[in-house]
Amino acid sequence: MSESRFSDIAIVSCGTLSLELNHLRAEGFLDTEHLYFTTPGLHEDIAELERQLVDRIRKAQEKAAKVLVVYGGKFCYVNADCPTRRMQTIIEEQGGQVARIQATHCMDMIAGEEERERIAQEVAGGEKVWWMTPGWIRFRHKVFKGWDKGLANENFPRHTGGAVVLDGIGFMDRYMEEHPEEFLEYSDWMGIPILPYPVQLDRFRALLTEQAAALR
């Protein structure tokens, strides 16, 4: 492993990616002592998302001069009441050395658009896919808070290629073995098959490293 890249940086992330970030810290890649998470699924409640994000950034700034925010820029924060207010706006308002990972959403952090297109072609013949990461499985009831079967039926079945979980931590094998009934119930609720797809976390590591360098 190369020299320290994150020891003087605090990381603030959506809780949906806590599984991957804790995995990277456990393996020694993320050599930071400061990880802060917002509640998973707050893209459904942007007022609470903004409140928690600002709170976590301020707490992070008490521990480190540099803060790396792990949130997507295009899809994670959509403010219908004020369309010009974006995730980057919130980041810039925090002052100091605060940077955000350059990706559109959590799935894009794990696999870029071209890789997702390749995977969709491989597993679904190019049909439309609903993308997820392990956090969308682990934190299902938070990510889909307030969703009933009717809302699920309006959204998921149009994804004729099914739901693909981009798994870079070996989560799905354990989950399906330990909770087979939950897995089948989840798929039934969505109305489409859930397909685990193992990936490497190389893109995620590179995006984190890129912004760590930018903070310097």
> Which domains are present in the chain?
9-107+201-214 (3.40.50), 112-198 (no CATH)
Q: What is the pLDDT of residues 108-137, one digit of tens each?
A: 999 999 999 999 999 999 999 999 999 999
Token duo for residue 12: 């603030």
Q: What is the value of pTM for the model shown?
A: 0.93
Q: What is the pLDDT of residues 29-62, one digit of tens each?
A: 999 999 999 999 898 888 999 999 999 999 999 9
Dihedrals phi, psi of 54, to nearest 5 degrees: -65, -40
Handedness of CA 102, 172, 169, 203 (dihedral sign): negative
